[in-house]
A and B are shown apart, each in its own frame.
Chain A
Amino acid sequence: MTPHYAAAFNDLREGIRNWPIWGRLGWQEVKRRYRRTVFGPFWATISIGMFIGGMSFIYAPLFNTTVSTYLPWLTTGLVSWSLIAALINEGTGTYTAGVGIITTLNFPYSILNFMVIWRNVIVFFHNLLIVIVVVLALGVPINSSTLLIIPGLAIIALNGIWITMILGMVSARYRDIPQLVGNLTQILMFVTPVFWVTSSLGDRGHKVTQANYVFHLVEVLRQPMLGQTPTLMNYAVTLGGAALGMLVALFLFARFRRRIPYWL
């Protein structure tokens, strides 16, 4: 396949320009999922809330901490992780879910990528409610670092573009990938310090977590929610990763964008 970089860039540019479509579809999708429920999208919030409530009391003693220090750590970590995991898992279905329109229309496919990202950002804002409750109830500091939530969210969304592009394409062609990715994210959840505290692993644990890309993604969003500043390393890794990921995604998109309809 000869690469068509102009077509790939054009797709992304047109996708951004068509924000009213994915803005709308993202909302619709969230509404659809919870239609006829009383709590709507807050069901995601409630389920995380219940999970956190239960886990805190069992895990806090396990890690030799108090509930009041463990609970904010777990809450912010799980809310950040949920967003990242959803981008990875739902990213695999980016193009296969759009089969109806991809096989009838010529349109910027990146609309579908932005839709997946936007939909999960909306869910994140619902989940943020638990964070706010926990932060206020337990007196977690709110300061200038808290504002870093915004760049943190932006960095994750930016990474979401290449993640959904690559996984979307590979999954459209090879249908085993979504299954595999589903399994891997499950393992990733336990490997990444979401439930457990980094310090409990000691020096070796430090190295393991530093080598985990998803850990840095979690950190740029979790630390500001705890009123802390993420490390320079966290920012360097996630921004560098976004740049590198975009390069790979564009390379693949330029080559295979035209093949996507044939794969569906």
Chain B
Amino acid sequence: MASINVENVTIDFPIYGAGRRSLRQSLLARTGGLVRREGNHMQHILVRALENVSFKLEDGDRLGLIGHNGAGKSTLLKALAGVYWPDAGAIRIDGRISPLFTAAPGLDLEDSGQENIKTCGMFLGMSAEEVARKMPDIMEFCELGEYLDLPVRTYSAGMITRLCFAIATSIDPDILLLDEGLAAGDARFANRAEHRMNGLINRTRILVLASHSDAMIKQMCNKGILLEKGKVLALGSVDDVLKEYHRRNDELAAPAAE
């Protein structure tokens, strides 16, 4: 049994080293969380990334996070991963959690592919034995052959993606947190990647996915949550939430089109 219980979570980001000029610019911004100032001389800049977010997830739930850039999707994922502790509210999680964000954690360009598989694997919570056991599978899947003995800085971008993807998808989590854009590579690899990703998702009890792709959300999720400026605007079945998202987008676009 895995579960996630998010109760009235609010997260403020303090911004350091931002002058008044950049503040003015961010106030004009149409996306992102609310920016405000605190302190005697209004010197503390805070960005409200999440405000009063609540939801519950159980086994079998596949939640899609929907919203514009800066709506709070990634912050919510990172809060679930335990990276950011909420300023207010609480997050309770039951089960082994695995965050799969952009690159493999601890990846070092100077180290060889094999060395990186070990380091990243350990950071993803695998023991040395577990990494050793999964090593052949990872090496085979990324199809990097002799390159695995060379430093990662000699790899092409696509090859790095392959390596990261192979490492990241070798885990066995209860709860999987996924930021979009993880899979890539050439067409043939993309096909195998999709297959491997589906296998991983089927092994996990709960999935939380942040994506801008309707197709991806529809295909992988059964629940949706719509975020805007850190607030939850809609929560429910994936189709309803996507519909709401597009209705709002059309509303916003309408006056501009006139």
The answer to whether A and B assemble together is yes
A22's closest neighbor in chain B, by CB? B122
Any chain A CB within 8 A of the CB of B48?
no
Q: Does B101 contact A (CB under 8 A)?
A: yes
- A258 in the interface (beta carbon within 8 A): yes
Complex Cα spacing A105 to B81, Å: 7
Q: Which residues of A contact B78 (CB under 8 A)?
A: 103-104
Cα-based distance from A261 to B99 in the complex (angstroms)? 16
Closest to A103 in B: B83
Known: A21-B122, A105-B83. 5 other contacts (CB 8 A): A28-B111, A100-B105, A104-B99, A104-B102, A105-B123
Closest to A32 in B: B110
| Chain B CB within 10 Å, residue with most, of A102, A103, A263 | A103
What CA separation (Å) do A107 and B83 show in the bound complex?
8
Chain B residues within an 8 Å CB radius of A261: 83-84
Bound Cα distance A24, B117 (Å):
13
Write out the residue numbers on chain B whose beta carbons fall within 8 Å of the beta carbon of A263: 14, 16
User: Is the beta-carbon distance between B13 and A24 smaller than 8 angstroms?
Assistant: no
Residues of B within 8 Å of A262, CB to CB, are: 13-14, 84
Alpha-carbon separation in the docked complex, A83 to B123 (Å): 27
A101 and B84 contacting across the interface, CB-CB below 8 Å: no
Tell me what chain A mostly uses at the interface: helix, strand, loop, or mixed.
Answer: helix
Whether B7 sits at the interface, judged by CB under 8 Å, is no
Is B128 among interface residues, defined by CB-CB distance under 8 A?
yes
Which residues of B have CB within 8 Å of A103? Answer: 78, 83
The answer to the question of A13 belonging to the interface, with a C-beta cut-off of 8 Å to chain B, is no
Whether B119 contacts A24 by the Cβ 8 Å rule is yes
Q: List 16 A-B contacts (CB under 8 A).
A: A20-B127, A20-B128, A21-B123, A24-B118, A28-B111, A32-B110, A100-B105, A100-B107, A101-B105, A101-B123, A102-B83, A104-B81, A104-B102, A105-B105, A106-B83, A107-B123
**A25 is an interface residue with CB less than 8 A from chain B:** yes
Q: A105-B99, A106-B82 are known contacts. Are A35 and B110 too (CB-CB below 8 A)?
A: yes
CB <8 Å contact, B108 and A104: no
Closest 10 CB pairs of A and B: A106-B82, A258-B85, A32-B110, A21-B122, A101-B105, A104-B101, A105-B105, A104-B105, A20-B128, A101-B106
A20 to B122, Cβ gap below 8 A? yes
